[in-house]
Structures are given as C-alpha cells and as structure tokens.
Chain A
Amino acid sequence: MNVWETILLGSIIVLALKVAGYLVPQSLVEKPAPSRITGLLTIALLSALVAVQTLGSGAQITFDARVPAVLVAAVLFALRVPFILVIIAAAATAALIRLLT
C-alpha cells in the first residue's frame, strides 16, 4: 500500500466508525465494558506511540536526545503548561542537545 492508499483507506475506516455510531442502538452506550475498553484503548495506543517515537530507531531501541526532550515535556505537562509551548520546548531540548554533542 502506498501513502495515498494508506491515507484514503484510513480515512474511510475512521469515517465509517463514526457513521456506525449513529446507526447502532442507544443501549450499547449504557454497557460499561465497551466504553471502558475504548477509553483504555486510546490510552494504550497513545502510550505505545510515545514509547516507539521516543526510543525507536528503525527496528532498534536507542537512547538519544529524544529521551531528555520527552522528560522535559512530561514535567511541563505536569505543570499545566499549554500544549503548543511544551511541544516547542521538547523540540528545542532535542535540537540543543544534538547541537552540543
């Protein structure tokens, strides 16, 4: 699959999931397990993406400038600094470390 096909197939599936919600019976939302699993699914995927984006380098795990950058981001998020500023700070941390090493 090339990038365009990936984009189009992904978009169709994401829209289909949204449409499906308008078609299924209302009672499904009252069941706790499906909504609990969906919420946790989001968390697991985001967390896995953090790990892979921070440590992954092709098929390898490496510790480079991204690790301190993400730690800086974690501290700033804990301090409730706005999203866009945290992203800039994380990028700047990694860029600075790479410049100096």
Chain B
Amino acid sequence: MRERAAIRSSLAVGLAVSLYGVSFGALSVASGLDIWQTCVLSLFMFSGGSQFALIGVLASGGASAGFAAVAGAALLGTRNGLYAIRLSPIVGGPWWRKLLAAHLTVDETTAVATAQPTRASQRAGFWWTGVILYVGWNLTTLAGALIGNALGDVRAYGLDAAAAAAFLGLLWPRLKSLQPIVVAVAAAVVAALLTPSLPAGVPILIAALVAVVVGFFNWFGKREVA
C-alpha cells in the first residue's frame, strides 16, 4: 500500500521535473554547445543544477572558461554527496547497485525517498523516481536541444533572459528564511561587482565563499533543529 503511494509520488515528481529538461536542452544549445554535447551532459552528469552551472559559465566565458565551468558544476554537485550519505542505508545491496544508485542521487530522488515512511517504500520511491526522471530528463533534453537548434538566433527569442530566469527558478524555493536570503543577495552582489575585473566564471566561484563563511559561523541562522 505504502509502496503504491511512493510510486505515485515518484510519477508526479519525475514527470513534472522532467519538463525542466526542455529548458535545459534549449538553453544549452543557446550557450554554444551542440546537440550531442547537450545530450551527453544529461546522460553522464545527470544533475540539473550542475548542468545549468556548467553551461552558464561556458555561455559567459566560452571554452576558455572550462575549468571555472567544471568547478561550478562540482560545487553545485557537492550536495548530491550529502544526499548519498542519507540514501546509503536505504539503497543497500552490492557495490554495483550502489554505483547505479549514485548516478541517480539528485534532489528529486532524495526528496521522494526520504519522505516515505517505511524502508520498502523509501526504496521503491528512490528507484521509481530515479528511473522515471532519468528517462524523462534525457528525452526532454533532446527535445529542448532540437527546439533551441531550430530557433537559431537565441537572443531574438529572449533565451538568454530565460537562462537567468531558470536559475532564479531553481533558487526561489530555497529562499525560505533570513540566512539563505542574505547569502543569495550577498552572492549576487559579489558576482556582479567582480565580473568586470576577473575572468569569466571566477566571480561565481568567489561568490560561493559567501556561503562557506556565513554557513561556518552560522550568521543570520536559526538554532539548529535536527
């Protein structure tokens, strides 16, 4: 029974989030990647935030910003590592199953799995969300890339503004208390101020230091509710 409920939320989350893939595919092509590169990114990296960061830095700095793009993707991917620690006892099993699970360890699979009440339904929620999301994300990435490619001049269609709006959309649900809002505003100001004086991508990485400092000292934070 509970497993059926888990599968239901897997379907809802997996299908809804898959639609982001269209945005990603179109914006990736707008950033200068070709259709193959866009699809390989979704197949191999499979982590929305990291993928958006990679194409975002490449869009502003070109191929020469490669190292900054990789660093941005890696920093946004660190939270997947923390999710994996929580999912490890849920997934269980031999190493090859954990390796497969690792590739599917992202925001959505963690959210669905950890919201379930029993170990069996957690496991069902994780794998169903993971498979639906993986298939959906890659199919919609391809669709988006084909659309973006057909459009041609992306600025005329406002796709550069759409990229900024996409980051805002990923950010928005996280701004629920003072601490994240302070970090968001400070990081945006730091990145904008440093853009004229540093190579592309580097201001974004320096802005990340705001999070490390504020998080370490827990400034503007609430007392921890574990």
* Same assembly: yes
The answer for the CA separation of A91 and B77 in the assembled complex, in Å, is: 27
Q: Is B139 an interface residue (CB 8 A)?
A: no
Residues in B102-116 with C-beta less than 8 Å from chain A: 102-103, 105
Count chain B CB atoms within 10 A of each CB in A36, A38, A59, A96 and give the residue with the most: A38
Distance of A65 Cα from B42 Cα, bound (Å): 29
- How far apart sit A98 and B69, CA to CA, in the bound complex (Å)? 29
Instruction: Specify which chain A residues have a CB less than 8 angstroms from the CB of B70 in the assembled complex.
Output: 1, 6, 9-10, 13
Inter-chain contacts of A1 with B (CB < 8 A):
63, 66-67, 70
B118 within 8 A of A: no
Q: Report the nearest A residue to B52, measured CB to CB.
A: A49
Do A7 and B54 have beta carbons less than 8 Å apart? Answer: yes
Interface flags for B67-109 (1: CB within 8 Å of A; 0: not) read 1011011111111111111111101000000110111010000
Query: Is B192 a contact of A34 with CB atoms below 8 Å?
Result: no
Whether A34 and B203, one on each chain, are in contact in the complex, defined by CB atoms closer than 8 angstroms, is: no
Question: Beta-carbon contacts of A30-59 to B below 8 Å, as 1s and 0s?
Answer: 101111111111111111111111111011
Q: How far apart are the CA atoms of A84 and B23 in the complex, in Å? A: 7
For residue A24, CB closer than 8 A to chain B, the reply is yes
- The answer to whether B73 and A21 have CB atoms under 8 Å apart is no
Which A residues are in CB contact (< 8 Å) with B171?
A: 43, 46-47, 50
A24, B98: Cα distance in complex, Å:
13
Report yes or no: B196 in contact with A61, Cβ–Cβ below 8 A.
Answer: yes
Partner of A17, one of B78, B157, B175: B78
* Known pairs A29-B85, A40-B180; A45 contacts B72 (CB<8 A): yes
Please, how many angstroms separate the alpha-carbon atoms of A54 and B168 in the complex?
10
Check B1 for interface membership: any CB of A closer than 8 A: no
Please tell me if the beta carbons of A43 and B183 are within 8 angstroms of each other in the complex.
yes
Is B168 in contact with A74, judged by CB distance below 8 angstroms?
Answer: yes
Q: Is the CB of B204 within 8 A of A52?
A: yes
Which A residues are CB-close (under 8 A) to B79?
A: 38-39, 41-42
Contact, CB under 8 Å: B158 / A93: yes
The A-contacting residues of B in range 145-184, CB under 8 angstroms, are 155-172, 174-175, 179-180, 183-184
Asked whether, in the complex, the Cβ of A87 is within 8 Å of the Cβ of B23, the reply is yes
A-B contact pairs, 5 of them (CB 8 A): A11-B44, A36-B218, A39-B215, A44-B210, A87-B169
B interface, CB within 8 angstroms of A: 19-20, 22-23, 32-33, 37, 40-41, 44-47, 49-50, 52-54, 56, 58-60, 63, 66-67, 69-70, 72-89, 91, 98-99, 101-103, 105, 155-172, 174-175, 179-180, 183-192, 195-196, 200, 203-204, 207-212, 214-216, 218, 221, 224, 226
A-B pairs with the 7 shortest C-beta distances?
A: A21-B84, A94-B158, A1-B66, A37-B215, A94-B161, A90-B165, A69-B161
